[in-house]
A and B are shown apart, each in its own frame.
Chain A
Amino acid sequence: MTFLMLTGRTVNQGVTVENKTSAEYAAETSTCFMHEFDMMELGLDDRDTVRVTGACGEVVMRAAASPEVEMGTVFVPYGPYANHIVAAGTRSTGMPDFKSHKVEIEPTDEEPKLVHELMEDLGGLAYDR
């Protein structure tokens, strides 16, 4: 199904943002908040994993029902998971389309990667001391 993906701040994202190697930060920023009817449509239970595909890639997240999200849209806290599929075009403003991205969402059996793994996929080297 096609959705509009918005990204933004949550308290949990802010609380864990200075500790990006933590499991809590990974859990928060890999959560895809959805309307419960949309989840029903896709046959998803809370915390089931979903593959989210954007214009320039795909990433696995966990779905969570949220009363804040309208049908047809999903909300993902700012972080490396959402940005894994956000396109870099800025329409000559310097600012990517962080709050208006069309994505495809489908259920999957895969688990979300760790932040480290995402960074290593793009050519980085994890530091975890």
Chain B
Amino acid sequence: MIVKDAVCPFCGCLCDDIEVEVEEGRVVAVTNACELGTTKFMGEKRMKNPILRDGDRWKDITYDEAVRYAADVLLEAERPLLYGWSGTHGEAQCVGVHMAELIRGVIDNTSSVCHGPSILAIQEVGHPGCTLGVVKNRADLVIYWGSNPIDAHPRHLSRYTRYAEGFFLENAFRDRKVIVIDVRKTETANIADEFVQIRPGGDYAVLSALRAIVQGKADTIPRTVAGVTREQLVRVANLCMNAKFGAVYFGLGLTMTQGKYKNIRNAIELVSELSRHTKFTISAMRGHYNVYGSNEVNTWMTGYPFGIDFSRGIAFYNPGETTAVDILARKECDAALIVGSDPAAHFPRKCLEHLADIPVVQLDPYPNATTAFCNVQIPVAVTGIDAEGTAYRMDGVPIRTRKVLSTDYLSDEEVLARMYARMQEVLEQ
């Protein structure tokens, strides 16, 4: 059986033109997806049943036992942390927020170690963004800043920018210029018309220099700024001002470096400056396929996009205090629920040392690095493969992922709903 127009649940591009061939309950071939998406669709070695850590060994348990254990551990905790949420669908995220409120926990998603700083900047100065379709059809200049789509979002270039047709561009490949700004000469830099190499940590200075040039103050710029020559900065500023429609896509090269959200704020303000001359937009290259959805769901349910603390009975948000890395490093939480992410692979070691000391429950289809710190892991269906649900593309467009095969695994939403029901039952008693 061939499933057409399946949605790829890997990165924020959420490509919706994938063809998946299924035979005897297994994915045997994938067409149109990139290497990252293909590998995810073809993924094997799933965990077969829930497991419980029993001293120095692992014991198989039933779903009922696992759900009961998870609900009870989280209920008993004084300050439970509910973390992850980017690798699951919106419906499961909703249950997560309700659960966090019920047990007065902290709910945070992976954006706190990804584009959280971008959101902080957007809260300060707004987000002049647009959908990917607008960029594809109109943009004659695309800037990738601190992002390397060839490795992280492989089809972004072919679907929307470098190699895409554009409705309002006669010959998109010739007429659309691509500028890459990075500290490394990445694969993406190799296919750019102009590559600007910045000294690590110099993004803020280069953004400020470009703003000054766009404001007509090129004569104030020193000979080089963070390793970039004045001539190149002026050339890039002119390319931007002479474009009919420009789009900036930035990645973690801006959010994870020195300056963090201030870099993004400066980039957004550069875009506002450019919009006085021409049309310009800016958007984040979101990583996980539904990390944007997690911010959306949290925001419409609590008012805040991540790092939400319900310990006061109301939603409280203070990044740096109510975000997962900080809570773990301060050894503050006394139980953790991990859904759709793998903090043990992506958090600093100090956080893991605390995960080892507290009860941890994880919902994930595969054994991963966090499994080692779990008391219970509950295998679930993979959204977009054997579960369906809503995900938000990197430009904020909600897309319903499809189920390409059926398995006996419960979805994240089903497991969380059972845990939530159990918690309500206990609390009513």
Q: Which A residues have a C-beta under 8 Å from some C-beta of B? A: 4, 6-11, 14-21, 29, 56-57, 67-70, 73, 75, 78-80, 83-100, 115-116, 119-120, 122-129
Contacts and interface: CB of A to CB of B under 8 A. Distances in A.
A11 B36 contact: yes
Interface stretch (B129-137, B218-226, B349-357, B420-428): B349-357
A88 to B, nearest CB: 4
Interface of B: 10, 35-36, 39-40, 43, 45, 51, 53, 56, 58, 108, 112-113, 116-117, 120, 148, 150-152, 154, 183-187, 197, 200-201, 252-253, 255-258, 260-261, 287, 306-307, 319-321, 323-326, 328-329, 342, 344-353, 355-357, 366-369, 371-374, 377
State the 8 A-B residue pairs at the shortest beta-carbon distance, nearest first: A123-B356, A124-B372, A94-B323, A92-B320, A119-B372, A88-B329, A94-B112, A88-B350
Contacts of B344: 80, 119, 124
B367 A128 contact: yes
Nearest to A124: B372
B186 A95 contact: no
A127 B348 contact: no
Which has the most chain A C-beta neighbours within 10 Å: B319, B346, B348? B348
A83 B372 contact: no
A96 B306 CA distance: 16
A127 B320 contact: no
A98 B256 CA distance: 6
A95 B256 contact: yes
12 contacts: A8-B151, A14-B36, A15-B36, A19-B366, A20-B342, A86-B349, A93-B260, A93-B320, A95-B113, A119-B344, A123-B373, A125-B56
A51 to B, nearest CB: 16
B119 to A, nearest CB: 10
A20 B351 CA distance: 19
Contact of A95 (B260, B345, B367, B377): B260
Contacts of B186: 68
A9 B260 contact: no
Contact of A124 (B35, B201, B260, B373): B373
B184 A68 contact: yes
Q: Is the interface of A mostly helix, strand, loop or mixed?
A: loop
A64 B154 CA distance: 23
B51 A127 contact: yes
A90 B345 contact: no
Nearest to B56: A125
A70 B319 CA distance: 33
Nearest to B57: A125
B326 to A, nearest CB: 6
Given A15-B35, A15-B39, A125-B56, A80 B345 contact: yes
B223 to A, nearest CB: 20
A116 B252 CA distance: 27
B156 to A, nearest CB: 13
B372 A18 contact: no
Contacts of B53: 125
A128 B10 CA distance: 24
A27 to B, nearest CB: 14
Interface hub of A8, A83, A92, A94 (most chain B Cβ within 10 A): A94
Nearest to A11: B151
A41 B398 CA distance: 51
Given A88-B329, A119-B372, A127 B117 contact: no
Contacts of B323: 90, 93-94
Contact of A20 (B39, B321, B369): B369
B375 to A, nearest CB: 10
A91 B319 CA distance: 10
B185 A67 contact: yes
A78 B346 contact: yes
B154 A11 contact: yes
Contacts of A116: 372
A85 B369 contact: no
A64 to B, nearest CB: 14
Contacts of A9: 148, 151-152, 287
Contacts of B371: 127
Contacts of A128: 367
Contacts of A84: 349
A106 B326 CA distance: 31
A116 B345 CA distance: 11
A9 B12 CA distance: 14
